[in-house]
Amino acid sequence: MQDKTLADMPEGSENPLNAAVTSRDATAVQMASEAIKHKQCKLAFQPVIQANPPHGVAFYEAFIRVLDETGRVIPAREFMPHMENTPIGREVDCVALEMGLRTLARNPDIRMSINMSARSIGYARWSRVMERFLRKDASIGERLILEISESSAMTLPDLVVDFMDRMQPRGVAFALDDFGASNFSFRNFREFLFDAAKIDGQFVRGISTNPDNQALVRALIAVAREFEILVTAESVETREDAEFLIANGVDCLQGFLFGSPSIKSPWKAEKTPKTAS
């Protein structure tokens, strides 16, 4: 007897593939929720490199990693889309912020960027975490970069602008993430006063051989320069792409070419003297 195709299934019956995916996602959400409640999380750090000599590390971006009961990472794509705008999603932001600020407090020689969302600003616990660390050590604000995506910033623009006005005098810098990926009006740069912008990786990967993306990235860099905003290109994976970006004026480079996110503190490895082979 031949197997039935999906098209042969009776109307109203559930696609077994969809059912399996839904079940997997539900399991991942449940595991992630429990892990976040118990703070079974770690940060991974990726270096962001200066485009110009001496090509040192400008700062590190921190990424939250949520672990299951065995200590394995639960892929973010399996749970974040389902909890991004939920209280658990806000808890993820709180845990990431607290772990990032604690790392900065313990390592006074580094700068770090941490992702945030507009909705987290109005979340009381997130704000308390921020205030507690800044009151305890004012230097943390001077070494902290908060990254917010274009789409998130535009959901609550007044709230974001007010928060930036309060934090920038305390040294906190703000980076516009995913620059170029959505319809962010250039006039909004006057209101938001970002310190930096990160060009979305979809325009960076393979840019050395893509004339369309070359034109777009040149335009994005020109806009950022008009507003005296530092420019980082993310998802840099080849030397040829890096050379094009440097030649066209980016300030910093981030991507697997320079290092992948690591839960081991990369700044400690950089300070370890190399032994002679």
Q: What is the mean pLDDT of residues 56-72?
A: 91
Q: Tell me which of 22 and 88 has the higher pLDDT.
A: 88
Q: Distance between terminal CA atoms of the chain?
A: 66
In the block, tokens 């335009």 appear at 219
Instruction: Please report the domains of the chain, with CATH numbers, ordered by start residue.
Output: 27-264 (3.20.20.450)
Tokens of 205: 């990967």
Whether 158 shows a pLDDT value over 50: the answer reads yes
Q: Quick: pLDDT tens for 185-199.
A: 677 788 898 999 999
On average, the pLDDT of the chain sits at: 86
Torsion of CA 117, 91, 73, 264, to 10 degrees: 80
User: Which of 71 and 273 is assigned the larger pLDDT?
Assistant: 71
How crowded is residue 188: how many other Cβ atoms within 10 Å of its Cβ? 16
Average pLDDT over residues 122-140: 95
Q: Letter for the amino acid at 254?
A: Q
Tell whether the model's pLDDT for residue 59 goes beyond 90: yes
Whether 66 has a pLDDT exceeding 50, the answer reads: yes
pLDDT at 18: 54
Confidence of residue 266 (pLDDT cuts 50, 70, 90): very high
pLDDT of 258 higher than 90: yes
Helix, strand, coil percentages for the chain (3-state, nearest 5): 50, 20, 35
CB atoms closer than 10 angstroms to residue 128: 12
pLDDT at residue 143, as a whole number: 98
- Residues above pLDDT 90, as percent of the chain: 62
Max distance between CA atoms of the chain, in angstroms, equals: 73
Q: Between 184 and 247, name the one with better pLDDT.
A: 247
Check pLDDT > 60 for residue 214: yes
Res 252 pLDDT > 50 = yes
Residue 4's CB: how many other CB atoms inside 10 A?
A: 9
Digit-coded pLDDT (tens) for 161-172: 999 999 999 999
Owner of token pair 């031949």: 2
Rounded distance between C-alpha atoms, residue 7 and residue 10, angstroms: 8
Does residue 4 carry a pLDDT above 60? no
- Where are the extended beta strands (E) located within 69-143? 112-115
The rounded Cα 134 to chain-centroid distance in angstroms is 21
- From the number of C-beta atoms within 10 Å of its C-beta (0-12, 13-18, 19+), residue 249 rates as middle
Tell me which DSSP letter residue 70 carries: T
* Residue 199 contacts residue 220 (beta carbons within 8 Å): yes
Give the Cα separation of 30 and 28 in Å (integer).
5
Calculate mean pLDDT across residues 226-251. Answer: 97
- Measure CA 96 to chain center: 11
241's torsion region: left (phi>0), alpha (psi -120 to 50) or beta?
alpha
